[in-house]
């Protein structure tokens, strides 16, 4: 039986009440490197995004879910992106907003739940993840969850005046 609820978190669709959380997260420059963001977002633009968040993954090629603790506080976001139903694959991205909620198993549980959903409901064959070579914690998490390191994209990310390599991970459904 599929669950989007784990022992300490659950995943849910974006709601209109998430505007302030989304505004704070998307405008947090410390995560722009992983999100690819280069300019701030207005609340108006984010409201338009929320107004369309109900659209189907087959239409918009993306699914964004909130990671919530069991007290209903939003801790972060997890995404499927570049959804490709023809080739049965998608990218996976995750961000936990507050560093105090990291290294507690929240990310592992969220990724595990989303992988189960992607493989069993969407019938995907593979998921891929892009991780900065300097992000040791994320590298550890994805390897722990059975993602295989399949390549390095040289000088892929330009941030703070330097180029960084990005590692490509892949998980294929067994």
Output the tens digit of pLDDT for each of the chain's 174 residues. Answer: 457 999 999 999 999 999 888 888 888 877 777 777 778 888 888 888 888 887 889 999 999 999 999 999 999 999 999 999 999 999 999 999 887 778 789 999 999 999 999 999 999 999 999 999 999 999 999 999 999 999 999 999 888 899 999 999 999 998
Backbone torsions φ then ψ of 67, nearest 5 degrees: -95, 115
Domains of the chain by residue range:
9-124
How many other CB atoms are found less than 10 A from the CB of residue 138? 19
Asked whether the beta carbons of 66 and 12 are under 8 A apart, the reply is yes
- Give how far Cα 2 sits from Cα of 17, 112, 174, Å: 26, 11, 17
CATH 3.40.190.10 fits 9-124, yes or no: no
Give dist(CA 104, CA 22) in Å, integer: 22
């Amino acid at each position: 039986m599929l669950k989007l609820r784990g022992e300490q978190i659950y995943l849910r669709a974006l709601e209109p009440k998430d505007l302030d959380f989304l505004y704070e997260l998307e405008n947090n420059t410390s995560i722009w490197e992983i999100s690819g963001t280069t300019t701030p977002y207005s609340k108006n633009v984010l409201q338009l995004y929320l107004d369309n968040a109900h659209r189907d993954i087959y239409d918009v090629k993306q699914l964004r879910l909130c990671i919530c603790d069991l007290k209903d506080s939003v801790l972060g976001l997890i995404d499927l992106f570049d959804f490709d139903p023809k080739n049965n694959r998608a990218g996976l991205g995750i961000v936990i907003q507050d560093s105090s909620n990291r290294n507690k198993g929240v990310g592992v549980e969220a990724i595990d739940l989303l992988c189960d959903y992607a493989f069993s409901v969407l019938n995907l064959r593979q998921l891929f993840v892009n991780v900065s070579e300097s992000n040791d914690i994320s590298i550890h998490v994805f390897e722990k969850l059975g993602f295989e390191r399949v390549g390095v994209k040289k000088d892929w990310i330009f941030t703070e005046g330097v180029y960084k390599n990005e590692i490509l991970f892949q998980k294929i459904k067994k």
